[in-house]
Structure 1
Amino acid sequence: MRDYVNTAVMESDGIYKEVVVIGNGPSGLALSYMLAGNWPYYNGNTHLDEMLTARLKNSPSGRSLVQQDLKFLSEGLEGRSNHPISLLMDSLNHPSADQGLDLPSLLNWRSNPERLVDHVVLGKGPPGGAWHTMDGNVLTISLNTWMELPGLEFRKWESHHNCNSSGAPRRVPVATVAAYYKDYVKQMGLSRFMRFGVVVTSVSLLDCRQNQANTCIEDQTELGSCHCQPLWSVEGFDTTTGLPFTYICKKVILASGSTDLHNRLNVSGEMRHPNWIFHNLKTLEDELNILVEKNKDSRDGVCQVDPVLIVGAGLSAADGIISARFHSVPVIHVFRRPAGSSEKTLPENMYPEYHKVHQMMGDKGLGYSDYRAFPEHKICEFSAKPDKKVKIMSSSGVQTCHQVSLVAVLIGSRPDLSFMSPEFEDGKKLGVYPERHIDCRSNPMAIDPYTYCLTQGPPGLYALGPLAGDNFVRFLIGGALAITAHIYWEKKAQRTPAHR
């Protein structure tokens, strides 16, 4: 681990917390639930994995998973996450889900108020984070049961809120998931730990030796003598009042997700035309509605417009194509991969809309009206003189120019970690590959897989959720457990007198 020079001075008017969680998406909410003293317990039922069942049954009876050897319990598990504790919690929450089974959870959640860890969860918007910024009509990739957080079954919540819930797991609109996360905070009694409508501007390690009062945080957030345990300063401001705030804490959990900064092509003209070149699906949907309304032929209600150009080959780009075709707007689709690429696709029976787009990409749109695909092409230039035009180039160097009405560059996103102190270089120094920007798929933060502590950062710094490489809600619960357990064992060790 690299050495970090502590330069920030202890704030005399800071708000003292043991833990500050940055990000109020599902990662931050799940962790808050556990830090509030709600712990998971194995209910004794049998898992189809006989070895896992044996390990669970041989573990100390009556103890929460927080108090057990998670490395031992997660031994040998395989699945769609690279993190053993994520696989453990998913195996217990959703037994054999990847085999298509819908089995009851093997966990009970119990409240232990005496285990509460004083914390605050900071978020820009309402609880649920980025889920409130997405197009609410789009269906989730994951099933509804995989979107749930500890203590509140998604299907029961749907039934109570008349969300047309059926018995079987199914995909649900993004808006339903966002509403579930917002309501989760109320139903689980977590409101007192939440502070939303705030922006974090600085996270830095304090030099407590420069603090004349020589104070630090003891357990239960009481002030006492300082033994130079690393402390953190988290600064920001309230977006409503503009008033600044400072939190002083022992531990900072980075759970701010992966959607802050939309990836760009970095080609000529891309950023000069924000009125018709966009980088997110929600804005495209809004602009399509405006475009269609403005250009309807009064005689037959048909929209007569130039094509929408969509860049990208992922699910967001597919959603953009689906939206444009729903509005009967012609599409030009530019992407780098070859037509009919053998990349793994989603099952047709569960994701028919994405399967259809993949088919269209495969035959270059020849069999579909108002859709033209340009595989193995890249964008060269955007211009608006006199009309909105896009110049593209094939892999063989052939250039063509196309007149368009709108452009959506949907090639992914990455987190904004500019609030980290300068020595972290916008978070780059904390990644698996420190020379690259943090990317939640190709370069997540480097963590200890059993504690989620950052291996390239100072003590007390953790990553959770997409920042740690857990990009699906069903897996981030494991990270929350790992952090909660690490805090528990640290406090237990501090209370145990050393033998001389």
Structure 2
Amino acid sequence: MRDFNGCAHTTMSSDTIYKEVVVVGNGPSGLGLSYMLAGNWPYYNNVAHPDEMLTARLHSSRHTRSLIHQDLKFLSQGLEGRSNNPVSVLMDCLTHPGADAGLDTPQLLKWRPHADKAVDHIVLGKGPPGGAWQAMDGNVLTISLNSWMELPGLEFRRWEARNGSPVTSTRRVPVASVAAYYRDYVKLMRLSKYFRSGVVVTSVRPIGGLASHPGEKIDSEADTATCHCHCHCHLSARWAVEGYDTVTNTPFLYVCRSVVLATGSTDLHNFLNVPGELSHPSWVFHDLADFEKALTELVKETPGIKEGYRTVDPVCIVGAGLSAADAVLSSRFHSLPIIHIFRRAEVSPERTLPENMYPEYHKVHQMMRSGGEGYPEYSAFPQHKVVDISAGDGKKVTTVSPSGLQVVHQVSLMAVLIGSRPDLSFLPPEFQDGQALAVDPEKTLDCRSNPISVDPWSHSVNGAPVGLYAMGPLGGDNFVRFLLGGALAIASDIYSERKELSPPHCV
């Protein structure tokens, strides 16, 4: 047993670590929140915003105070943007003013350090800081512009210049550059002490147990030992987070007042759930990078494809999203014939992708709309479903049309790219891998169509015990430019609670 935090009346097991906040996930969501919890606060810089009403609200509030302590509901009213979370729209308006109108305008925030306000926290991640960005194909260009990928305190273009790259205007950049930016961000912003990489979280649970059902909140202060002096010690903890180090296999246990779910949306691939889908991993892929590697090997094994004197069976691509579009583009680059299967009847480019900036995706959507007419070696099958995958006398994919007609296609490779979902199996079983916390608990948790239900002003999880938050894709924000809204909402709520609890006076 050891004395903890100078609190004479409390002791805790030597293998238990107390933190005020534990963040599960070290992608850009976790990075942005850590920056704020480290005491770096945003302030309005008094420059007028294109939205005159927002400017008026900013000036009518106590704009000399940080946004951390402002009325976020008041500031967010009437704003419109490409996020369903109002604080995310507010922060986007302040960090990327006029972005949707094509403007590249300096942000209207300045960030000030308050080292004395730092919250003791830890950010846990399986890999290096940056999360899923570290596992993506580094050669692919980002969907978002470079300035939309940056986090507070470190302009992306200045970081590029620091690393020997020319400072350019706003543009899309390779994923590898973004991944390196996020790795460097933790070091350059002096956040390393708050990060623990190479760990897997196996359990996140409220101390004292759950309520009888997810919609009923528990009084965690009453259900756990109470620290009457409100010191920041383990007696004030409401949550326990367990896991292990992937290198040493050493287990760990954190107890904390608050847990932030920031794991992103790419942990698990979605499946068709048809016969044979998982029986042929050598030619049926659910990951774009693996599929692209297989394409390269196929071309190597079949010389003459690009020259046109050798043919192969087509590759089959299932899906209508951006990953499927990337698979189509990669297959065409290698001059391979393509069978493209998708459920949609009407295909239109995502509203967030202007044609002048994303011509390649608009080209794929044009191919999909035309059914492949006018595009040699490309065949589109809208409103078709895959019903069977087999490999007897060849690799075969069976599809069914809207009229019920079944067709067997002989293929070389297959890519099933129909989205991904988060892995929240570490939550208590009552939360059903997060589904019980979704906006519609009767449907599968989906970061785009059915994210976790959060309070719009604090991002606390609705229907969960006190102290659980969700942000980023889990909370419905699927683009980096909107992540700071969730970070601000959570940091504001945590600092507000801190203020309500008198400063620690351990006896």
Same fold (TM over 0.5): yes
Aligned to 1:98, the other structure's residue is in SS state: helix
Matches within 5 A, 1:184-223: 184-207=185-208, 214=225, 221-222=232-233
Distance in 1 separating the partners of 2:457 and 2:343:
38
CA separation of 1:219 and 1:319: change in aligned 2, threshold 3 A: farther
Distance in 2 separating the partners of 1:367 and 1:472:
34
Deviation (angstroms), 1:348:
1.8
Q: 1:383–1:390: 8 Å Cα contact kept in structure 2?
A: yes
Task: Compare 246-255 and 340-349 and name the one that shifted more.
Answer: 340-349
* Residue 296 of structure 2 is aligned to residue 289 of structure 1: yes
Task: Compare 187-196 and 51-60 and name the one that shifted more.
Answer: 51-60
Letter in 2 for 1:18: E
Q: 1:30–1:477: 8 Å Cα contact kept in structure 2?
A: yes
CA separation of 1:458 and 1:214: change in aligned 2, threshold 3 A: closer
Deviation (angstroms), 1:344:
4.9
CA separation of 1:18 and 1:337: change in aligned 2, threshold 3 A: same
Q: 2:299–2:305: 8 Å Cα contact kept in structure 1?
A: no
Distance in 2 separating the partners of 1:302 and 1:153:
50
**1:286-305 deviation line (CA, Å, top 9, x unaligned):** 11112211222499697643
Q: 2:230–2:501: 8 Å Cα contact kept in structure 1?
A: no
Distance in 2 separating the partners of 1:266 and 1:322:
26
**1:323-372 deviation line (CA, Å, top 9, x unaligned):** 11112221111111126569758322111101111111111112112211
Q: 2:384–2:399: 8 Å Cα contact kept in structure 1?
A: yes
Distance in 1 separating the partners of 2:352 and 2:85:
23
**1:358-410 deviation line (CA, Å, top 9, x unaligned):** 11111111211221111121101000102111111111111111111110001
Q: 2:348–2:365: 8 Å Cα contact kept in structure 1?
A: no
Letter in 2 for 1:146: W
Distance in 2 separating the partners of 1:403 and 1:138:
29
Q: 2:42–2:68: 8 Å Cα contact kept in structure 1?
A: yes
Matched with 1:329 is 336
Distance in 2 separating the partners of 1:31 and 1:218:
27
Matched with 1:464 is 471
Distance in 1 separating the partners of 2:490 and 2:329:
40
Unaligned stretches of 5+ residues in structure 1 = 1-9
The TM-score normalised by the length of structure 2 is 0.90
Q: 1:308–1:329: 8 Å Cα contact kept in structure 2?
A: yes
Deviation (angstroms), 1:221:
4.0
CA separation of 1:302 and 1:491: change in aligned 2, threshold 3 A: farther
Matched with 1:42 is 44
Distance in 2 separating the partners of 1:351 and 1:400:
34
Matches within 5 A, 1:425-464: 425-464=432-471
Distance in 2 separating the partners of 1:216 and 1:396:
67
Aligned with residue 162 of structure 1, among 164, 167, 187 = 164
Deviation (angstroms), 1:241:
0.9
Q: 1:296–1:304: 8 Å Cα contact kept in structure 2?
A: no
**1:84-134 deviation line (CA, Å, top 9, x unaligned):** 111111111111111111111110011100110000000011111011111
Distance in 2 separating the partners of 1:61 and 1:341:
42
Unaligned stretches of 5+ residues in structure 2 = 1-11, 210-219
Deviation (angstroms), 1:283:
0.9
Task: Compare 296-305 and 64-73 and name the one that shifted more.
Answer: 296-305
**1:197-246 deviation line (CA, Å, top 9, x unaligned):** 1111111111299x9x95769877445xx4xx561110111111111111
Task: Compare 35-44 and 324-333 and name the one that shifted more.
Answer: 324-333
CA separation of 1:448 and 1:403: change in aligned 2, threshold 3 A: same
Matched with 1:176 is 177
Distance in 2 separating the partners of 1:381 and 1:367:
29
Matches within 5 A, 1:34-183: 34-166=36-168, 168-183=169-184
Distance in 2 separating the partners of 1:66 and 1:343:
33
Distance in 2 separating the partners of 1:318 and 1:281:
10
The TM-score normalised by the length of structure 1 is 0.92
Letter in 2 for 1:65: L
Aligned to 2:433, the other structure's residue is in SS state: coil
Q: 2:205–2:428: 8 Å Cα contact kept in structure 1?
A: yes
Q: Percent identity?
A: 62
Distance in 2 separating the partners of 1:203 and 1:344:
37
For these two proteins, the number of residue pairs brought into alignment is 483
Distance in 1 separating the partners of 2:50 and 2:353:
26
Distance in 1 separating the partners of 2:237 and 2:387:
49
Aligned-residue CA RMSD (Å): 2.5
Q: 2:231–2:503: 8 Å Cα contact kept in structure 1?
A: no
**1:403-437 deviation line (CA, Å, top 9, x unaligned):** 11110001111101001011211111111111222
Q: 2:305–2:335: 8 Å Cα contact kept in structure 1?
A: no
